[in-house]
């Protein structure tokens, strides 16, 4: 089984103090820092891009887990590679034609490729990307509609996680959206091992306790 990885979503952090917020999360036991990159087109919101990743990279050696909610992910590969991104997760909905080229380019820039899918996308659409000659290394199952933080967790998405875990026992399976103390057990028991949590961590009086609880739930489920 793939090890537990807790990835606080920096979208919920204080962007005016991004470096110190990143260090705070790592000191609380976070494994990765989840970076939401939105283009205002694939999703209505507009967030950060390569310049922010580059700036943050100067202050941390942490794994920067970049989730690309963009229409043209190929355009972002070179700038994010130069900026120091660690993981590059693109959406299957915009990459059906050129995903093999995309994965090759991501790897060539020293990043780890992953694929994400929206709640309305059938899980079967990512299977070719996991099983291909040049496979992705992670699947991100969105448990809310991508684009905004603070949404309610969709428990019905756990069927996708269960299907993935049964088919690929050692795959990194990430879940993102509405994860916190009240929903983590559903995600962990379904087989998710990479947990993105935003408001439930940053809004907690003691974020370190939430991170610890999320990890414990994943490890006990395994």
Specify binding-site residues for a divalent metal cation: 34, 36, 67, 176
Active site residue 176: yes
Burial of 26 (0-12, 13-18, 19+ CB in 10 A): middle
Q: How far, CA to CA in Å, does 123 sit from each of 26, 77, 115, 128, 163?
A: 32, 25, 11, 10, 8
Active-site annotation holds for 172:
no
Per the residue annotation, which of 39, 65, 172, 176 is the catalytic one? Answer: 176
Indicate the annotated binding residues for substrate.
9, 67, 147-150, 178, 198-199
Q: Choosing from 31, 36, 39, 65, which is the catalytic residue? A: 36
Residue 5: strand, helix, or coil: strand
Helices (H) and strands (E) in the chain, counts: 9, 8
Q: List residues forming the annotated binding site.
A: 9, 34, 36, 67, 147-150, 176, 178, 198-199
CB-based contact 30:194 (threshold 8 Å):
no
Residue 67 to residue 15: CA distance in whole angstroms: 17
Q: Would you call 157 helix, strand, or coil by DSSP?
A: helix
- The Cα–Cα gap between 24 and 207 comes to 9
CB 12 within 8 A of CB 202: yes
Q: Which residues are known to be catalytic?
A: 36, 176
């Amino acid at each position: 089984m793939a090890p537990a990885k807790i990835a606080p979503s920096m979208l919920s952090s204080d962007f005016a103090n991004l470096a110190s917020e990143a260090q705070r999360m790592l000191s609380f036991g976070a494994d990765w820092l989840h970076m939401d990159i939105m283009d205002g087109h694939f999703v209505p919101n507009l967030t950060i891009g390569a310049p922010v990743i580059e700036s943050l990279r100067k202050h941390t050696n942490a794994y920067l887990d970049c989730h690309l909610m963009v229409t043209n992910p190929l355009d972002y590969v070179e700038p994010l590679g130069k900026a120091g991104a660690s993981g590059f997760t693109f959406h299957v909905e915009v990459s059906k034609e050129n995903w093999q080229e995309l994965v090759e380019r991501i790897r060539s820039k020293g990043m780890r490729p992953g694929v994400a899918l929206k709640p309305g996308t059938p899980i079967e659409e990512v299977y070719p990307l996991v099983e291909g000659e040049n496979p992705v290394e992670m699947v991100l199952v969105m448990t809310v509609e991508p684009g905004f933080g603070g949404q309610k967790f969709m428990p019905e998405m756990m069927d996708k996680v269960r299907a993935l875990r049964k088919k690929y026992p050692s795959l990194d399976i990430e879940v993102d959206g509405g994860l916190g103390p009240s929903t983590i057990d559903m995600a962990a028991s379904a087989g998710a091992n990479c947990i993105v949590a935003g408001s439930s961590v940053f809004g907690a009086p003691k974020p370190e306790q939430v991170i610890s609880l999320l990890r414990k739930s994943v490890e006990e489920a395994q």
